[in-house]
């Protein structure tokens, strides 16, 4: 009988101590400046003591938190895709404008080259004297045409990138709609 009383008294003394430390995290710094994070109380000579109470979440709360985090990631991903599509569209428009400008310049240079050829082609002597100028004009026109072609290709590449981003966004929205439809079709547990 004394053994049972002794066990009961020890248990009554230990239970409050166990219950008071449950769900607490202690942070403290020792005399060497090392910070410790423990579930046990710090020693008496510890500096910078702090106690953090932990309140466990219910399964419903944990599920709600996870769903909110997933929704936040999805929103962020959608916004990133939208921004990428807008950026690609803007850059494609700029590249298209530059390609048009370079094409116009190329056409002007070719016209100048042809006009110069016509102007200088009436005698052999003029033809030979102005050969360097003619070649220079033709070279500038050809380079302008190459730049215009490169700018046009860059515009096409950027437009494809924008279309791909828009396609990914549509797929993501369609997937969300199908998930929402599935959730609304599920019977509610009672």
Q: Is the pTM of this model over 0.85?
A: no
| Helical axes 131-185 vs 59-120, angle rounded to 10° | 160
Cα angle 64, 68, 69 (rounded to 5 degrees) comes to: 120
User: Would you kindly state where each structural domain of the chain is located, as residue ranges?
Assistant: 81-179
pLDDT at 26: 83
Residue-by-residue pLDDT tens, the chain, 190 positions = 455 554 444 544 444 444 444 578 888 888 888 888 888 888 887 777 777 777 778 889 889 989 999 889 988 988 888 888 888 888 888 888 888 888 888 788 778 777 777 777 666 666 677 778 878 888 888 888 888 888 888 888 888 888 888 888 788 888 888 877 777 776 655 5
pLDDT at 11: 44
pLDDT at 69: 92
pLDDT digits (tens, 9 = 90+) for 96-112: 888 888 888 878 877 87
pLDDT digits (tens, 9 = 90+) for 47-67: 777 777 777 788 898 899 899
C-alpha to C-alpha distances, 128 to 118, 120, 148, nearest whole angstrom: 13, 9, 31
pLDDT at 181: 79
Locate 106 and state its tokens.
Answer: 């190329």
pLDDT at 10: 52
């Amino acid at each position: 009988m004394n053994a049972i009383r002794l066990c009961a008294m020890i248990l009554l003394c230990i239970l409050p101590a166990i219950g008071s430390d449950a769900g607490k995290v202690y942070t403290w710094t020792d005399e060497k400046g090392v910070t410790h994070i423990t579930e046990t109380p710090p020693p008496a000579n510890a500096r910078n003591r702090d106690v953090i109470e932990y309140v466990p979440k219910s399964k419903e709360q944990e599920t709600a938190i996870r769903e909110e985090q997933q929704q936040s990631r999805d929103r962020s991903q959608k916004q990133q895709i939208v921004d990428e599509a807008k950026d690609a569209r803007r850059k494609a428009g700029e590249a298209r404008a530059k390609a048009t400008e370079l094409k116009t310049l190329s056409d002007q240079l070719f016209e100048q080259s042809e006009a110069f050829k016509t102007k200088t082609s009436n005698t052999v002597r003029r033809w030979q004297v102005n050969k360097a100028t003619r070649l220079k004009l033709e070279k500038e026109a050809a380079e302008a045409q190459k730049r215009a072609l490169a700018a046009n290709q860059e515009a096409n590449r950027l437009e494809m990138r924008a279309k791909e981003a828009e396609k990914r966004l549509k797929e993501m929205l369609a997937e969300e709609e199908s998930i929402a439809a599935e959730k609304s079709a599920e019977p509610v547990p009672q």
